[in-house]
A and B are shown apart, each in its own frame.
Chain A
Amino acid sequence: MGNSIIKVEDLSASYRKNTVLEDISFEVEPGSLTAIVGPNGAGKSTLMKTMLDLHPLLTGNVTYFGLPFQKAKKRIGYVPQRGSVDWDFPTDALDVVTMGLYGKIGWLKRPSKKHRELAFEALKKMGMEDYANRQISQLSGGQQQRVFLARALVQQADLYFMDEPLAGVDAATERAIMATLKELNEIGKTVLVVHHDLQTVMDYFDHVLFLNRTIISHGKTNEIFTKENIAQTYGGNMRLIGGEFQHVVSTSE
């Protein structure tokens, strides 16, 4: 793969003194929509954070568009887990989305009317226009997740990292988020998603990365999303219902 958009070589990372990620090397094709799956404690979020320089890299090297992270970071959008911020912060949904533009606005300047319109458009895309002026603590979990996604959209990045965007959201939010991901994918953006629901991997993602402290398998979903790989990734915490992987449930959660 000469045209890969992300290149990870021999990455490892630790939490406290325990190594949680080892010997991670993979490349991501531009325009792909990849699910990162694995059991709890497999290091899915840590992998994402390490790749984004939010967690120390023990060994290895990560490049984006052939550049180190610091030079590429303005082209990368990150949607953290919803619980990573305090939703009691005194601000409203539109304001949170506008924050995605702060890097472009520059020092000593206020967000202009145009910035607010861009933010409002992004909210509208997520079906949240009626909640623009709602205090963020008054939003449901799914609505908060949509605000986060809208904020990532206004950044107009080329590459998106999303940590469990579908965790604990309602069906409407899941549909809205997946429609947006598909749309991003169609206009050539690359998206990596930490995902917990094995049943939807086949429907939602064209690539999958099985992770359990190291990479078990990585490739096209229709080629490698097999019972064997799932069993190997999830180890004993698994049961197969009816022998079909569409009915695979992870019992570790």
Chain B
Amino acid sequence: MTYTAWIIVTAALVGLSCGLVGVFLILRKTAMMADAISHTVLLGIVIAFLVTREVSGSAMLVGGILAGLVTAFLVQWLHSLRVQHDASMGIVFTTLFAIGVILISTSVGNAHLDVQHALMGEITFIPFHTITLPVIGQIPQATALLMIVFLVVLFFIIAFYKEWKITSFDPTLAASLGIPVMVMHYLFMSLVSVTTVASFDSVGAIMVVAMLITPAASAYLWTDKLAVMLVLSGFFGVISAVAGFYVAAWIDTSISGSMAFATGIVFLVSFIGSPKHGLLSKYIRPGVHGRIVWRVKR
């Protein structure tokens, strides 16, 4: 495959995995946990690097999961000590991220890691680091990692579909039926973490938030069915990623930036034009419950 093809495949995988995970971030009203975790996985990656002295996919995944869980746990813990939820999130993630930044500049030296790369990602370099897998053959390391993560995310969403649904909609009922709500919470935070780690190389810590939240928020405006929302969100993620790549190639700009921008355009189109909950549909069909009204009210 050509370099361009690999970049597009990688971008599409980022859009797909982030789109799926993002649906539950939106429905569980934990969208900003994505922002927090996307920053703190940096610390996990740096520590994984310091321990193993190599930039390997599996060590990064483990480090990322741990960092994500520590973040989720600390946020929860500070909140239980009566720090406001949003404040405890702000405190925890900036602190952990700062430790990551300090470690990069002091201990890591001029390895593959640097802050600029961590924040923005660099999808154009991805085809240069290849590994050889059985059956598939030579494949960029980041792409292979994303494929594995996508399969893991897909597996967990399908396997625990009804548990995700009930713990997102009504955690109280879920708990009273004997479903381990906290275990599901931390499992979900782990999924967010692995998705973020895998997307890190390509789009970086900041743009991954756009890929996680915006396609899902757009899909939310198009449908009243959870399964359809998942499919649409994944689809919007892929469309934004691919369109973003071509726009970036056309006007010669940052690929991750234009991917994130594309998600914003998809949202804007949905916000205005969605036949179900869009702005225009309310003028055309007055009396329809608009989700936008509700969103603004919150």
Contact = CB atoms under 8 A, between A and B. Distances in A.
Contact of B176 (A52, A96, A107): A52
Contacts of A110: 161-162
Interface stretch (B13-21, B107-115, B220-228): B220-228
Interface string A48-88: 00001010000000000000000001101110100011101
B56 to A, nearest CB: 32
A103 B226 contact: no
Contacts of B128: none
Nearest to B171: A85
A84 B220 CA distance: 20
Contact of B173 (A90, A99, A108, A135): A99
Contacts of B289: 137-138
A91 interface: yes
B101 interface: no
Nearest to B295: A88
A111 interface: yes
B225 A74 contact: no
Nearest to A111: B162
Contacts of B1: none
Contact of B225 (A52, A77, A90, A138): A90
A141 to B, nearest CB: 13
A22 interface: no
Given A102-B166, A102-B179, A103-B177, A54 B172 contact: yes
B174 interface: yes
Contacts of A54: 172, 175
A123 B199 CA distance: 44
A100 B165 CA distance: 12
Contacts of B228: 90
Contacts of A78: 172-173, 176
A176 interface: no
A85 B294 contact: no
A76 B225 CA distance: 29
B229 interface: yes
Nearest to A49: B172
B229 A90 contact: yes
B27 interface: yes
Nearest to A79: B173
B178 interface: yes
Question: How many A residues touch the partner, as a band?
Answer: 20 to 34
A81 to B, nearest CB: 10
Interface residues of B, number: 31
Contacts of A111: 162
B168 interface: yes
A92 interface: yes
A84 B291 contact: no
A80 B229 CA distance: 27
B162 A86 contact: no
Nearest to B162: A102
A103 B178 contact: yes
Contact of A88 (B173, B174, B226, B291): B291
A84 B168 CA distance: 12
A151 B173 CA distance: 10
B22 to A, nearest CB: 14
B172 A80 contact: yes
B296 interface: no
Contacts of A52: 176
B178 A85 contact: no
B229 A102 contact: no
B169 interface: yes
A91 B169 contact: yes
B224 A102 contact: no
Name the residue among A89, A92, A110, A135 with the largest chain B CB count within 10 angstroms.
Answer: A89
Nearest to A92: B224
A90 B224 contact: yes
B162 A90 contact: no
Contacts of B179: 102-103
A237 to B, nearest CB: 30
A71 B177 CA distance: 11
A105 interface: yes
Given A80-B172, A90-B229, A111-B162, 16 more contacts: A16-B82, A54-B172, A73-B178, A74-B177, A74-B178, A78-B172, A84-B172, A90-B224, A91-B169, A91-B224, A91-B226, A92-B225, A100-B173, A102-B177, A103-B179, A151-B173
9 contacts: A16-B82, A54-B172, A76-B176, A78-B172, A78-B176, A80-B170, A103-B179, A107-B163, A108-B159
* 8 smallest beta-carbon distances between A and B, as pairs: A103-B177, A135-B224, A89-B169, A90-B226, A85-B170, A90-B224, A99-B166, A103-B178
